Amino acid sequence: MVSGNLYRRAAVCAVVVLATVPAIAQAKISILDSGKATTVTPGAGRAPGLQAIPDHLFHSDPADPANQFEDGELLLSNAPPGFAGLIGGLGYRIIEQTDLGGLGLSMFVLGIPSGKSVPEAMRELSGRFPAAVIDANHIFEAQARGTHARGAMGWRNAKASCGRGVRLGMIDSGVDTSHAALKGQNVDFRSFHASGSRPGPQLHGTAVAAMLVGKPRWGGLLPGAELLAASMFETRKDGKKSGTGRALLKSLNWLAQAKVHAVNLSVAGTDNKVLRLAFVKAQQRGMVLVAAAGNWGRADKPAYPAAYSDVVAVTAVNGKRLIYSHANTGSYIDFAAPGVDIFTAIPGGTRVMSGTSFASPYIAALMASEIAFGGRGNTATLRKALGRNSVDLGKPGKDTVFGYGFVDIKPKCS
């Protein structure tokens, strides 16, 4: 069982979505906001949000993310000895069994007997195997809501060698490594799509990867760094583009084994018991995890993994340091960084993007740089260090909108 002090607020289940919104969409779109700034706390404003969301690919605030999961499947960890033999006798089948050695976990993906619902199966197996950690195999759908990334932070373009020696990780969608911003850069890409599916879309992952390690003229934050990019998204036979908890677990395990300095997760959703355990294990192994705060514009719905206590949560502000109009708020918010109208790469070209997804890479890059060039560090010490170098915004002290405030430092090589 995971102690309550290891996470802030827990929901029952989770769906995780890429936490950004494209400013320009090519498909059917719906305008989410008039663009008028509104005040959310004394001294804190909201940035204009002229964002548009293409159908199918992008979702802003799922009505009930807990109910978005693979029909007929469960995720299970902490299985008892002999579990594989026992489960077959109950009518379940093992779809996949994986040793997540980097996290010290094992994972089963189970097929549920015909006629049984996912909640019914969870209740049955939780009763029979009380020590196991069981949840649905939740669907992860991409949610996407200028200046170059460095310009938005007030940093000059870096030398091509800036970040050399830094190992960054990211869990996102696919990455177009042939894009001019990334071609020739040190990017190791792996897709963790399921057998029978094709790799997922590349738009969001390409944009985030270009921010992190794009060539200097593209404004990459650490162009000399190595990037290990894991895609947890896939295109299934029916054409649906999504990700699963299974793919997120395997992505996190790969990065744990690679011993990256910091991981950027531009994803947001509700809590999931199996994923929660995996994030606890990752933190215990020294992984520094940075996540987007989420784009639901909600104060009553914390976004995970950002809301876990050992994950650094990053919200987005515009050039005037007003809060992004769709940003979540809550006690879990740690820092603010640019995330409105960020010019970055997408497959086949460029786009101006907005969302908390484009704020978290700044903090991930800074923390990775601090670890690589400043010696040993963990999430707690790095959070304190960045907090001491933040410009307080909104209410005095740490608040629910901006956290400690706008981080006002540069990578060691800048």
User: Can you give the pLDDT at residue 1?
Assistant: 35
List pLDDT tens digits, range 39-59: 333 334 454 432 322 222 333
User: Can you give the pLDDT at residue 349?
Assistant: 94
Residue 26 has pLDDT above 70, yes or no: no
User: Can you give the pLDDT at residue 244?
Assistant: 83
List pLDDT tens digits, range 62-121: 556 677 788 899 999 999 999 999 999 999 999 999 999 999 999 999 999 999 999 999
User: Can you give the pLDDT at residue 303?
Assistant: 86
Specify the domain boundaries for CATH 3.30.70 within the chain: 69-139
User: Can you give the pLDDT at residue 15?
Assistant: 40
Q: Considering the chain, what percentage of its residues have pLDDT values greater than 90?
A: 59
Specify the domain boundaries for CATH 3.40.50.200 within the chain: 149-407
User: Can you give the pLDDT at residue 243?
Assistant: 75
List pLDDT tens digits, range 297-318: 999 888 888 999 889 999 999 9
Contact 210, 365 (CB under 8 A): no
Q: Of 24 and 408, which is predicted with more confidence?
A: 408
Residue 384 has pLDDT above 50, yes or no: yes
Distance separating alpha carbons of residues 353 and 348, to the nearest angstrom: 15
CB neighbour list of residue 154: distance below 8 Å, 6 or more residues apart: none
User: Can you give the pLDDT at residue 72?
Assistant: 93
User: Can you give the pLDDT at residue 155?
Assistant: 59
Residue 80 DSSP code: P
124: left (phi over 0), alpha (psi -120 to 50) or beta: alpha
User: Can you give the pLDDT at residue 149?
Assistant: 57
Q: Considering the chain, what percentage of its residues have pLDDT values greater than 70?
A: 79
Distance separating alpha carbons of residues 68 and 89, to the nearest angstrom: 28
- The lowest-confidence range among 146-150, 200-204, 254-258, 356-360 is 146-150
List pLDDT tens digits, range 31-41: 222 222 223 33
Average pLDDT of the chain to the nearest whole number: 81
User: Can you give the pLDDT at residue 31?
Assistant: 20
Residue 261 DSSP code: S
Q: Of 338 and 56, which is predicted with more confidence?
A: 338
Contact 312, 363 (CB under 8 A): yes
Phi, psi dihedrals of residue 63, rounded to the nearest 5°: -60, -45
Q: How confident is the model at residue 205 (pLDDT cuts 50, 70, 90)?
A: very high
Distance separating alpha carbons of residues 185 and 125, to the nearest angstrom: 47
**Cis preceding linkage at 305, omega within 30:** yes
Residue 231 has pLDDT above 50, yes or no: yes
Q: How confident is the model at residue 414 (pLDDT cuts 50, 70, 90)?
A: low
Q: Of 26 and 66, which is predicted with more confidence?
A: 66
**What pTM did the predictor assign?**
0.81
Q: Which two tokens stand for residue 216?
A: 């200097």
Which residue in 106, 86, 82, 85 sits closest to 96, CA to CA?
Answer: 106
In the three-class reduction of DSSP (H, G, I as helix; E, B as strand; rest coil), residue 44 is classed as strand
Q: Residues 187-202: what's their mean pLDDT? A: 89
Place of tokens 């907005």: 354
Task: State the amino acid at position 322 in one-letter form.
Answer: L
- Fold (topology level) of 69-139: Alpha-Beta Plaits (3.30.70)
User: Can you give the pLDDT at residue 34?
Assistant: 25
Which residue in 139, 138, 63 sits closest to 296, CA to CA?
Answer: 63
User: Can you give the pLDDT at residue 63?
Assistant: 53
Q: How confident is the model at residue 19 (pLDDT cuts 50, 70, 90)?
A: low
- The pairing of strands 390-391 and 406-407 is antiparallel
Q: How confident is the model at residue 271 (pLDDT cuts 50, 70, 90)?
A: confident
Task: Tell me which architecture the domain covering 149-407 has in CATH.
Answer: 3-Layer(aba) Sandwich (3.40)
User: Can you give the pLDDT at residue 141?
Assistant: 54
